Amino acid sequence: MLKNIPKILSPELLKVLCEMGHSDRLVIADGNFPAESMGKNAIVIRADGHGAAEILEAILQVFPLDTYVEKPVNLMQVMPGDTVETPIWDEYEKIVAAADERGAKAIGQIERFAFYEEAKTAYAIIATSESALYANVMLQKGVI
């Protein structure tokens, strides 16, 4: 056991977070995200039974966000004409604000298909059981 490490972070996930270097990207994927097909060149970690917000909150306790980019946190943008509500984004904003002094200014959006292309180059993808739509979030690692 380790002290001050959120219990939701598995040994496998902690190892991956530690291996990541500056500018490497991590996707926290909702339950609908095609994690295995997008992650053919990445490490895919299963976090079944967990939501994206709780994973995000735990990760940001140990994971520095990149200060060399304007938006180190990116959400999958809602498709034009899609009437889906995204209340989980408000949760993400609070979690990011608690971890990074830039708060909501650190959060951007990437068009859905561009997000998929970016996800294909991520270091790792965490596949959660999140049921909220458009709950995918990409983090870019910074330095300590």
Whole-angstrom Cα distance, residue 104 to residue 96? Answer: 7
75 half-sphere exposure, CB direction, 13 A CA radius: 25
Give domain status of residue 13, yes or no: no
Please say if the pLDDT value at position 35 is more than 90: yes
Give domain status of residue 40, yes or no: yes
Tell me which residues are annotated as active site.
22, 66, 116
Calculate mean pLDDT across residues 70-88.
Answer: 96
Whole-angstrom Cα distance, residue 77 to residue 123? Answer: 21
Please say if the pLDDT value at position 1 is more than 80: no
143 half-sphere exposure, CB direction, 13 A CA radius: 4
Find, among 33, 17, 12, 57, the residue nearest to 119 by Cα: 33
Q: What range does the domain containing 75 cover? A: 22-140
Number of domains the chain is built from: 1
Give domain status of residue 135, yes or no: yes
CATH code assigned at 87: 3.40.1650.10
Please say if the pLDDT value at position 23 is more than 80: yes
- Give the global pTM: 0.96
Q: What is the DSSP string of 82-119?
A: -----THHHHHHHHHHHH-TTGGGGEEEE-HHHHHHHH
Give domain status of residue 30, yes or no: yes
pLDDT tens string 123-143: 999 999 999 999 999 999 999
Find, among 110, 118, 121, the residue nearest to 79 by Cα: 110
